[in-house]
Every structure is written in C-alpha cells, then in structure tokens.
C-alpha cells in the first residue's frame, strides 16, 4: 500500500518537472538571449520586484535607464542654470543697492552742503540786519542832531541866528533851515546877507535828497577846514571824526573816498575802534586797493 502511494507521489513530481523544466529552460534561454542583445533582464526584474510591496524592501534598487539618466542630467542642468540666473540676479540686485547707496550718500552730502550754505546766508543776513539797524540808528541820530540844532536857531532872534548861519557852509545852512517852519525860515533869511540868502533860497527850493545834502555839507566843511590854521584844523579833524562816526558807514565811506588820503587817515584815527572798523569795512566794498593803503597808514 505504501509502495503504491510513493509511486503516485513520484509520478506527480515527475509530471511537475516535466512541465516546469521546459518553461524554466525557455525563460533562462530567453534571458540569456536578451542579455546577449543588450537587454538588462536582471535590472528589469529588479524594477518589477521593487514595485511589489514587501519585496521592494529586500531587493536592491535597479539601475536607472538612459531616459532617467538623461532626465536627471537635464534637471541638474536646469538647476545649474537657475543657480547661475539667481547669482546674476543677486549680482544685479547688489549692484543696484550699491548705486542707491552711492546716490543716497551724494544726496546727503548735497543736503549738508545746502544746510551749510543756508547757515552761512542766515549768518550773513543777521550781520546785514545788524549793520542796517546801526545805520538806521546813526541816520536817526544824525537827523535828530540836525533837528535839535534847527530848534536852537529857531528859538534865537532872527537877527542873532542869521549871522551864525551865514558862517555855516551852504549845505549846512540848507539842512538846518529845512528843519524849521516856513515863518522862521523867512525871518532868518530876511536878516541874512542878500547874496547868501539868495544862494540858500535857490538850493532850498530845489528837490535835493537829505542824504545828498548831508554829504555835500561834510565835503564843504572838509574843504573849509583846509584853509584853517594848524590848531583849528586839529580841532576840526576831531569834530569831523565824531561827525563821521555818527553817520551811516556806507555814507561816511562815500564821502571819505572823495577826500585826500591824509585827511581820511587823520579822521579815522580820531574815531573809536568800533566805528573805525565799520567804516573801513564799508570802504573796502567801494575801493579795496585804497582801503588797504589807508589801513597800512593807520597801522
């Protein structure tokens, strides 16, 4: 009985081998032929096996195909191109930032320069305003002195005031008389020498700026001082120094430029230092060369 079962078992194995061996041989032969003709059978089997769950953990990874290698190379090249593009863009951005920083630095420098110019102009304006204020004060003081002198003559009797006014220069007489009321002018002119009264009246009727009259008065006084004695001339220089100090610096400078340089030096020496410096500053604006000569002689 046992011998019959064993015989049947062998018969089954034989039948199994009979059917499987040709198949296995065929597959093996096919694999060899495919390998000979360049087809990677093992790699394909690994590729198929890696797709089976569980088996993929045991089998090694298959070799990539040419298409996969080509795709990987293209992807790598694209990444390299993107990297180069990013580097170029980064370089452009950095260059743009550098240009902007340079532009901002230039703007800051220009702003600082403008601010300094504004500060200088403000300082210059303040100095100019102070100078104008001093000039206005000097003009007001000079006009006040003329007005005060005119009031003194107006309070005197015409017969007493007329001889005194006759000893003044023509421009000085006109300046004083113009500050009086018309009735006082008539009374004093009636008591003057007819010739002096006539020339005074002619100048009074002309429209002459007060500033021009003041300059003319100083010039006439200076011309008159040249004919006086040395002692009286020294006194006149002292008086002229005080007179010029009371004038506005610009006006005083205009008159001094018309005078002899020696007289100018003597007049400036008789002034206080502040007044002399202000007038010299105005002189330098009109004639720098002559101002330098005067300054040298003052030293």
Distance of CA 4 to the CA centre of its chain: 123
Distance of CA 33 to the CA centre of its chain: 91
Give the chain's residues under pLDDT 70.
1-10, 31, 33-46, 48-52, 54-66, 81, 83, 136-137, 206-214, 216-218, 220-236, 299
- Model pTM score: 0.36
> Alpha carbon of 113 to those of 107, 121, 141, 157: distances in Å?
10, 12, 41, 67
**93-135 tens-digit pLDDT:** 888 888 888 888 888 888 888 888 888 888 888 888 777 777 7
- Give the pLDDT score at 232: 45
* Pair 64, 75: CB distance under 8 Å: no
Helices 170-178, 66-155: axis angle to 10 degrees equals 90
**169-185 tens-digit pLDDT:** 888 888 888 888 888 88
- Give the pLDDT score at 230: 42
- Give the pLDDT score at 233: 42
Backbone angles phi, psi at 287, to 5 degrees: -155, 95
């Amino acid at each position: 009985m046992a011998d019959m079962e064993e015989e049947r078992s062998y018969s089954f194995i034989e039948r199994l081998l009979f059917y499987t061996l040709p198949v296995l041989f065929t597959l093996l032969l096919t694999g060899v032929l495919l390998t000979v003709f360049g087809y990677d059978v093992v790699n394909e089997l690994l590729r198929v096996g890696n797709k089976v769950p569980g088996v993929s953990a045991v089998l090694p990874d298959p070799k990539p195909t040419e298409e996969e290698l080509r795709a990987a190379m293209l992807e790598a090249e694209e990444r390299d191109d993107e990297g180069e593009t990013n580097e170029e863009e980064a370089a452009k951005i950095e260059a743009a930032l550098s240009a902007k920083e340079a532009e901002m630095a230039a703007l800051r420098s220009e702003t600082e320069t403008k601010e300094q110019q504004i500060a200088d102009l403000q300082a210059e304006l303040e100095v100019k305003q102070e100078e104008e204020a001093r000039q206005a004060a000097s003009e007001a003081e000079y006009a006040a002195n003329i007005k005060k002198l005119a009031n003194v003559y107006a309070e005197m009797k015409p017969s007493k005031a007329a001889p005194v006014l006759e000893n003044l220069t023509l421009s000085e007489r006109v300046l004083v008389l113009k500050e009086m009321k018309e009735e006082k002018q008539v009374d004093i002119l009636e008591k003057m020498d007819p010739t002096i009264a006539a020339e005074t009246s002619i100048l009074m009727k002309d429209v002459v700026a007060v500033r021009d009259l003041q300059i003319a008065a100083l010039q006439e006084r200076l011309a008159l001082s040249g004919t006086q004695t040395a002692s009286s001339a020294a006194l006149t220089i002292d008086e002229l120094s005080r007179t010029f100090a009371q004038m506005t610096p610009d006006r005083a400078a205009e008159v001094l430029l018309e005078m002899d340089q020696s007289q100018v030096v003597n007049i400036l020496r008789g002034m206080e230092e502040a007044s002399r410096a202000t007038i010299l500053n105005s002189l330098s604006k009109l004639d720098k060369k002559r101002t330098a000569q005067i300054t040298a002689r003052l030293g």
